[in-house]
A and B are shown apart, each in its own frame.
Chain A
Amino acid sequence: MKYLTTILLLFFSYFLFSQPNCNVFLAEGDTSKYQACKLSEKFGDYYQFDMRGQAILDSCILICPYYAWPYYEKASTYIKSGNFLEWNYYINKSYEYDPINTLPYRASCRAKFFADYEGAISDINELDALVSFDIGFTNGGTYHLNVWKGLCYKNLGRIDIAAKIISDHIQTKPDAIGLYDYLHLGVCYQKLGMHEKAIECFERQIEYYDLAEIWYYSAISFQSLGRRNEYNSSIKKAQEYLSRGQTLVGGFRTLDDEIFQYDLDQLINN
């Protein structure tokens, strides 16, 4: 059931800012937006980086300069080449015309690609103030934006705040617990020296997704607590999982708390 809920959440959040039904704009009497929307349907015929598809988006912007979607799509291509100048221009234009649909994505990307954690937190807070419904998930759907805010604080070194935010999210939204939330919460507790609580979180994480990081971080806490046997068995499991690639994987970036063989070797040898 937990997996089903997660999959459904991922599915819906992934399409959060998808192309709308163009007829909506026609019904509203906005022919410019309708025409830009109809033209934008052709963008799907091309690979995202293809300049022919990008030319379609440029044309959509010419037809309807206040239609957010083509700006958003251009931004989402530039982010994938790390081009922060163009990304920033287009994502801010998208935000100008549709802040509610743009803020989750801008908050995600600022932290993911540019380590702009303050900017991401600011975006999430702004979204929270703008809407009366749930603020939703990061683009891609891996994290609820509450947890994302917690991870931003973690990256800023405010571990206590991060732990509180993530813990509160888990307590208050049990149906929106993400695939890795317990892992990150456990790492926060570990950094705060609360090893028993950290181990509890790692054990809970297994129910969501069992991966090498659980055993690597468990080993660190067991080591700190002087529980040698559990440390050894955790190291062994971490190695097994790493060897078969059962780890955190982010296609576009290294994820928070992701580990590599290098990290495990360092732990064993030090």
Chain B
Amino acid sequence: MVEIEAKILLNEKVGPERYKMILSAPEIARQAKPGQFVHVRVGEGYNPLLRRPFSVHRVKGQKIEILYKVVGKGTDILSRKKNGEFLDILGPLGSGYRSPSDTSKISDVILVAGGIGVASLLFLAESLSVTSPELSILAIIGAKDKDELLCEGDFKKVGCQVKVATENGTEGYRGLASDLLQKCLPLSGNRGKPLVFACGPLGMLKRMGEISKKHHLPCQVSLEEHLACGVGACLGCVVKVKGSNYTYKRVCRDGPVFDVCELVWK
């Protein structure tokens, strides 16, 4: 975990309101694991006051990439940053996806990405393709419209099978990525249970909880939450988890990745 002034090498539009930013951040690039995030101060002023969290989308050498959608003031300011400017970033933060330590029992991994949720899952796919090349990875990518689909080619490049869902049916399956997953289950052949990783809107993640329960699938989900400190100190971002009664965990430090079965949905 470090706080650095990172140089913006590229900040380009990759779709409607969607941007990719490449930053020079050697220390963060060295430490980052899939599912972790960086906490970015978008400006010196007090409005917005707080940093904005972004999943690490990719690590290439000494560079990291983030993929983001403009949803408010913070991301709007970020989208206007020019190449060569510097950004105050803190990271890598949080507990990321837990890769299978023993891949002998697992042969399939399914990634379920809704909208901008592809950001962290591409890093996971790229990482798994190196650490566990024997795994067969299916990436299910969903978006509202075909124009908003991201990273299809990138997943294919690292050997993933890719299936696409759009809510308006303009490409691939018509519906949510989680519905498409449901259609793919159970996987054909006599294979072990796949390990599922999902990132996307809350509604989709809730559906993942139901699917995981129904099919007894181990599933990790990455939650998106408004954060203040990002390091686990302020306790502002907690999520309810199962316990003897229930308890709270911090999205920023204990997460953002959780086993879907431990979450208590509202």
State yes or no: do A and B come from one complex: no
Interface residues of A, Cβ cutoff 8 Å to B: none
Interface residues of B, Cβ cutoff 8 Å to A: none
